[in-house]
Chains A and B, each alone.
Chain A
Amino acid sequence: MMMCDFHIHTTWSDGSVDLPEVVDIYGQAGFDVIAITDHVYNSDSTIGSWAERLNKTIAEENFPRYLESLERETERAMARYGMLLIPGVEITKNYLSEEESAHVLLLDLKRYISADLGWDAIFREARGQGALVVACHPHHTDHEIHDTLYFWNHRQKYAPHFDAWEVANRTDLFSVVSLSNYPILANGDFHKSQHLYSWKTLLPCLKTVEAVKECIRDNRGVAITMFRNGTARK
């Protein structure tokens, strides 16, 4: 089984570790597949407008450079660690109400997609690019300052758009998501080095982007594990 984390942030957005260092942290720990998913914020929110001012968001202007640096690191990750790196973003729509807020991972993205678009347009564009669409931390969490409940509250409508739902994020486990029988993933939502120790996904497939995407979509044999550095307290 391949050890994977599909939700990782770097200093391209609000992560505290730069991209090459993130690759080294995961590579040195023996991971097989990672996805870098820096935030693309909606500009009509306070966080989004501040992120733009501080250059802490992926925007249309810097997306080509972001993709270039990911390509460089993809090559290095494979050559040095035999680790597959998948480029992605986290579409981040934050509003005052957590009932309206929602985050979505788009994996294997080739062209920029704005978070200011409506959800239907975002999903359509992502599908057009063959990207994988994952609902992030869809339920109440311990670590998010602001929960993102929109998709869970409207799951009947939106479920067909998602290839997978995060059933676990960092140290949170969403039992309601697992009970729903939706396809699942578990990710670390990495922002700093200690976040390496968090929920992860185990995949039984070949180490190629297409095989990984297919495996997640099929969701057969997908397992989750808590990646711990110490022994559980007895």
Chain B
Amino acid sequence: MNLLLEFPVAASLAACILQFGSAWKALGKGRRATGRAADGDLPGVSILKPLKGVDDRLLDNLESFCRLDYPRYEIVFCVQGASDPALRVARKVKEMHPEREIVVVMGECREGLNPKVNNMIPGYAAARYPFVLISDSNVAPAPGYLREALAHFRDPSVGLVSHLVRGIGAKTLGARLENQHLNTFILPSVSLLDRMFGMPCVVGKSMLMRRGALDAMGGLVSVKDYLAEDYVLGEMFRKAGKKVVISGSPMDNVNVYRTPRQFLSRHARWNRMRFSIAGAGYFAELFTNPVGLSLLMVAAAPGDAEAWTIAGGVAAAKMAMDYGMHRMLGDRSSPKWILLGPFRDMLAGGLWFSAFFSRNVEWRGRTLRITRGSRLVPVGEAPAMEPAAEAAQ
């Protein structure tokens, strides 16, 4: 047996147990803001929804924001260009919910390199309430979501509230891989960083902040050239001495028909992004994949029966934890899909290495290079210094 490999396998199993424990604590009631404020005391919120194409269940996702239990808010649908099929759906939602304040902003902003931020800049200018919620188009909140998120701001030191993300709705293999990865790796990792290391990792699918505070830091424009605008915003608030809170109420991310290729491509991009942000810290991620490491052990000694036994035991233990997450998140899909876990772990292990092979991403027809802190530069151009870049680093 190779102790050099046995130790990392044991360490990674321990890391998974910590992840699981952190998720359990994070999802517990203690992290949810409680106490109901009177409607008259609640500030108005502008919900910015950057739209791009028709995500799975787009109409339901957008409509779920029309059913929020909150007295005063507007929804600002942001679309880049009249040819985007999401525009038709946004207009339909506006027609179906005349009782809601809904604005559809169609812009052609090309200010930055991050198309999502470009898409939101005209909507941000049109938004009129003192709080801004940035919310992706593929999420569907529960009616109490906004009230719960706002309640965190009763603590005046809070600058930004983000949410854990739970993948739901899978009907294809790619979507099952996606949702499992979100539920058994991303969510526990975000919880671990937040609960154990005090490093709240802002998830761009849901970010609530005071507009005045964001404006004081330069507004949305300050993150226009970052791939991980969510991480950079979190860092900006932290550097400004404000707390970043990860709420214990998970936000549903709807993935129904993703293909395996979409799963691989998205997480290869996210890995590159995390490598550019974490640098050497990215290597710690290896220790969250005990299945991948135990398979390396088997590959190093294929004739060793003990290595196979350990790999089998590790896979079983990891699936048991995956099942625990499945229960904890109230996942409605059949638990039999937990059996897909070791395969997903193998894929995730392979994807981990992909971050070292390229730092380029293809985004809306442009090739961009991810540099330090997830700053984007067009391939072939040198990055210019910006105050926000320094703030993020």
Contacts and interface: CB of A to CB of B under 8 A. Distances in A.
Interface of A: 3, 21, 24-25, 27-30, 81-82, 193-194, 196, 227-234
A81 B59 contact: yes
Contacts of A82: 92, 96
9 contacts: A25-B257, A28-B54, A28-B56, A30-B85, A30-B92, A82-B92, A82-B96, A194-B259, A227-B85
B88 A30 contact: yes
A3 B54 CA distance: 14
Interface SS of B by simple majority: loop
Given A28-B59, A30-B59, A81-B59, A229 B54 contact: yes
B27 interface: no
A173 to B, nearest CB: 17
Contact of A234 (B256, B259, B365): B365
B366 interface: yes
Interface string B48-61: 00000110111110
A29 B366 contact: no
A231 B85 contact: no
Contacts of A196: 54
Contacts of B85: 29-30, 227-229
B172 interface: yes
B172 A193 contact: yes
B80 to A, nearest CB: 9
Contacts of B172: 193
B53 A229 contact: yes
A77 to B, nearest CB: 12
Interface of B: 53-54, 56-60, 85, 88-89, 92, 96, 171-172, 256-257, 259, 364-366
A30 B53 contact: no
A232 to B, nearest CB: 7
Given A27-B59, A28-B59, A193-B172, 13 more contacts: A3-B88, A28-B54, A28-B60, A29-B54, A29-B59, A29-B85, A30-B88, A193-B256, A228-B85, A229-B85, A230-B53, A231-B365, A233-B365
Contacts of A27: 59
Contacts of A24: 57
Given A193-B172, A194-B257, A229-B85, A28 B366 contact: no
A234 B257 contact: no
A26 B318 CA distance: 38
B53 to A, nearest CB: 4
Given A82-B92, A194-B257, A231-B365, A28 B53 contact: no
Nearest to B93: A30
A29 B96 CA distance: 14
Contacts of B88: 3, 30
A28 B60 CA distance: 7
